[in-house]
Amino acid sequence: TSKTPLNTEEDLQELLLTLPSEKNLDGNNSLYLYQGAWIPVSFNLRGVDSFQRHFVAQDTDIIVASMPKSGTTWLKALAFSVAKRHIYGAGESPLLTTSPHELVPFFETDLYSKDQLPDLEQLPPPRIFGCHSHYGNLPESIRDSKCKVVYICRNPLDQIVSFFQFAHKFKVDDGVSLLSLDECYESICRGAYGQGPFWDNVLGYWKASSERPDKVLFLKFEDLKEDIVFNLKKLAEFLGVPFTDEEEKEGVVEEIARLCSFDNLRNLEVNKNGVRPLSGAPNSAFFRKGEVGDWVNYLSPSMAENFLDIIEEKLTGSGLTF
């Protein structure tokens, strides 16, 4: 945490003067390096600070962590469905009428973004939260308690393409045009884009998952696409609520997979026409193509190869590959 709490806008402005900054998508130098993570000032640094200072984890908590545009929405829906399946019967899921981001709010931008601290004590267990912070920047109580952390990552080429598409869709029309992926490519290669560097974000969770497999589950978007049933079972087991033989026979796993599938969620009224209450962002922006390999339509082969070479070098020795 920073030395002084960022209680006011003035505290934040004072801190920003001391941080390295880079060009963000808006063309301004509004991307700041804070505790080793590149954070757009719009993401809410005060929320990040408040979350670190005040959140107290409970052993039954579930934290869905990710770099943005890696499949967070999907994993939130899956984790919610698995962990709360004893409460809601088939056909009764709140996901049918509520965005996964409302059911599983982000610490930094939703819960700790207001001047008043959230009252989270009252929430029924298991509480499920989302988070984009690097592992090393999580509040100690998350790392030290028995709560579970589920991380999702994605092929970095698809992730950056999704990130740029999202920024353009999400954007409020203020007459300022955002920078393109080409214009930001050089900073991307240095890891300077939202919640980057990519390698630091993923490696923190990757290392934690190999050191403490009971604490951190590391998932890949591509693996979920390939075999969602297998990964749902893995998730349920990790969360301490494995599917029973009876549930498996009844097709509960497949039912959750179907409920949370891209086509199903995307076509629900709430995700087609709803908006996020705080930011006003359309829920539909979280559902674009949901495919593996869409980067070929946006990146030249040499850009892709160069970026992957950098990633590979940064991940050397970790055992993690893309």
Active site residue 168: no
Selected from 6, 208, 239, 260, the binder of ligand A3P by CB under 6 A is: 260
Comparing CB distances to ligand A3P, the nearer of 6 and 286 is 286
Selected from 74, 106, 199, 205, the binder of ligand A3P by CB under 6 A is: 74
# chain residues binding ligand A3P, by CB under 6 A: 21
Would you call 152 helix, strand, or coil by DSSP? strand
Tell me the two tokens of residue 33. 């390096």
66 near ligand A3P, judged by CB under 6 A? yes
- CB atoms near residue 11 (< 10 Å): 16
Which DSSP category does 63 fall into?
A: E
The torsion defined by the Cα of 276, 280, 284 and 290, in degrees rounded to 10, comes to: -80
Catalytic hit among 54, 86, 132, 134: 132
Selected from 162, 187, 195, 201, the binder of ligand A3P by CB under 6 A is: 162
133 near ligand A3P, judged by CB under 6 A? no
Distance of alpha carbon 193 from alpha carbon 288, whole angstroms: 20
Would you call 214 helix, strand, or coil by DSSP? coil
3-state helix/strand/coil string of 112-141 = CCCCCCCCCCCCCCCCEEEECCCHHHCCHH
- CB atoms near residue 67 (< 10 Å): 28
**Which of these segments, 24-32, 72-80, 89-97, 188-196, binds ligand A3P (CB under 6 A)?**
72-80
- The residues facing 62 across adjacent strands are 128, 148
288 near ligand A3P, judged by CB under 6 A? yes
Selected from 40, 47, 68, 196, the binder of ligand A3P by CB under 6 A is: 68
Comparing CB distances to ligand A3P, the nearer of 130 and 139 is 130
Distance of alpha carbon 96 from alpha carbon 90, whole angstroms: 11
Q: Between vectors from CA 23 to CA 17 and to CA 29, what angle results, nearest 5°?
A: 30
286 near ligand A3P, judged by CB under 6 A? yes
Comparing CB distances to ligand A3P, the nearer of 215 and 288 is 288
Site string for ligand A3P, 139-158 (x = CB under 6 A): -------------------x
Tell me the two tokens of residue 309. 């070479």
23 near ligand A3P, judged by CB under 6 A? no
Active site residues per annotation: 132
Q: Would you tell me which residues interact with ligand A3P (CB under 6 A)?
A: 66, 68-74, 158, 162, 165, 260-262, 265, 286-290, 294
